[in-house]
Amino acid sequence: MRAHSPTWWRFRKPSVIPGFGITLGLSLTWLTLLILIPLSGLAWRSSELGWEKFLSIAFDPRTLNALRISFGAAFVAACINAVFGVILAWVLVRYRFPGKRLIDAMVDLPFALPTAVAGIALTTLYAPNGWVGQFLTPLGVKIAFTPAGIVVALVFVGLPFVVRTVQPVMEEIDKEVEEAAATLGANRFQTIFRVLLPGLAPAALTGFSLAFARGVGEYGSVIFIAGNLPFKSEIAPLLIVIKLEEYNYAAATGIAAVMLIISFSMLLVINLIQSWSRRRYGDGI
C-alpha cells in the first residue's frame, strides 16, 4: 500500500465554525483594498521625495509644532478619557438612578453627531463670550482658540471609545468579588486598585488606544475651536489640508507619512503594553 505523505491540513484542529479559508481570504482582501493599498500609495509617493527633501519637510519648525500639538493633545485627551471613561462606565454598570438610560444614550452622541457640528457647539460654549467661556474669561482661563480647546474637543469625541470598551468587561465582574475582598478585610480603595482595576486594565488600554488614534486624526471638531494659529494651535491634519490647497502635494505627503510613522510606532508600543497586561492580569475577571 502506498504511504501518503503527511500534509498540514491533516493535523489542523477542526473548527466548530466552518469556512476558515473563505473568511480569511475575504478579510485579507478587504484589509488590502481599504488599508494596505492606500498606505502603500502614501509610502510610494513619499519615497519619491528623496531623503533630503523628506527630512526637510519632517523637521520643518511649523511641521514639528503641528505634530507636537496633534499628538500631545491626543495623548492628554486619551489619558483624561481613560480615567473618567472608566468612572462613567462604573456608574452605568453598578448603580441604578433616574435618567440612567438617558446618560447611557448620550455617551454615544459623539458617534452620531457630525464632527463639524460638535466643533461649532464647543466653540459656542467655550468662546470668550460663550455660555461657559464668559465665566472663565474673568478668571484668566481661555479655552477656545488655544491648545486647551483642542483637548476639550478630543475628549468629547474620544470618551465613547473608552466607555464602550470597558463597560462590557465591567458587567462580567461579579459583585461577589467585591464582597469577598471586603470580607477579607480590604477597604474600598484596596478593592478598586488591587481587585477591580487589574482586571479592567486590558480593556482600559484598548479604549485609551482607540481614543488616542481617533484624536490624532481628528479634524472637523477641532478646526473651529482651535483657532488654527501657526506655532500656537495649528494641528497636523489642518497643515496637510493647507499644503493641499497650496498644491504642495510633496509637503502634504511628507507630513502624512510622518504622522503615519509616529502613529504606528505609538500604537505598537500601546499594543505591546496591552499584551503584557493581558498576560499578567488576564482578560478580566
Q: Name the pLDDT band for 284 (thresholds 50, 70, 90).
A: very low
pLDDT digits (tens, 9 = 90+) for 115-137: 888 889 999 999 888 888 888 88
Q: Rounded to an integer, what distance in angstroms lies between the CA atom of residue 101 and that of residue 108?
A: 12
Residues 6+ apart with CB under 8 A from 257: 42, 43, 46, 54
Nearest-5° Cα angle at 104, 102 to 107: 110
- The pLDDT value given to residue 9: 47
Residue count of the chain = 285
pLDDT value at 36 more than 90: no
Average pLDDT value for the chain: 83
Looking at residue 1, its pLDDT comes to 46
Q: 3-12, 181-190, 275-284 — which is least confidently predicted?
A: 3-12
Is residue 11 pLDDT above 70, yes or no?
no
Q: What is the pLDDT of residues 248-283, one digit of tens each?
A: 888 888 888 888 888 888 888 887 877 776 676 654
Q: Tell me which residue has cell 463639524.
A: 116
Q: Which domains does the chain have, with CATH numbers?
A: 53-281 (1.10.3720.10)
CB proximity list for 217: less than 8 A, separation 6 or greater: 237, 259, 263
Q: Distance between CA 167 and CA 13 in Å, rounded?
A: 33
Taking the C-alpha atoms of residue 115 and residue 219, their distance in angstroms, rounded to an integer, is 8
Question: Confidence band (pLDDT; 50, 70, 90) for 160?
Answer: very high
The angle formed by the CA atoms of residues 120, 126 and 129, to the nearest 5 degrees, is: 100
| Cell 466643533 belongs to residue | 119
Q: What is the pTM of this model?
A: 0.81
Classify residue 155 by burial, with Cβ atoms within 10 Å: 0-12, 13-18, 19+: buried
Averaged pLDDT for residues 148-156:
93
Q: Is the pLDDT of residue 89 over 60?
A: yes
Which range has the top average pLDDT, 13-22, 202-211, 275-284? 202-211
Predicted local distance difference test score (pLDDT) of residue 14: 57
Q: How confident is the model at residue 163 (pLDDT cuts 50, 70, 90)?
A: very high
Dihedral (C-alpha) 163, 143, 221, 57: value to the nearest 10 degrees? Answer: -110
Q: Which residue has the higher pLDDT, 75 or 253?
A: 75
Greatest mean pLDDT among 80-84, 138-142, 241-245 lies in 80-84
Does the pLDDT value for residue 53 go beyond 70?
yes
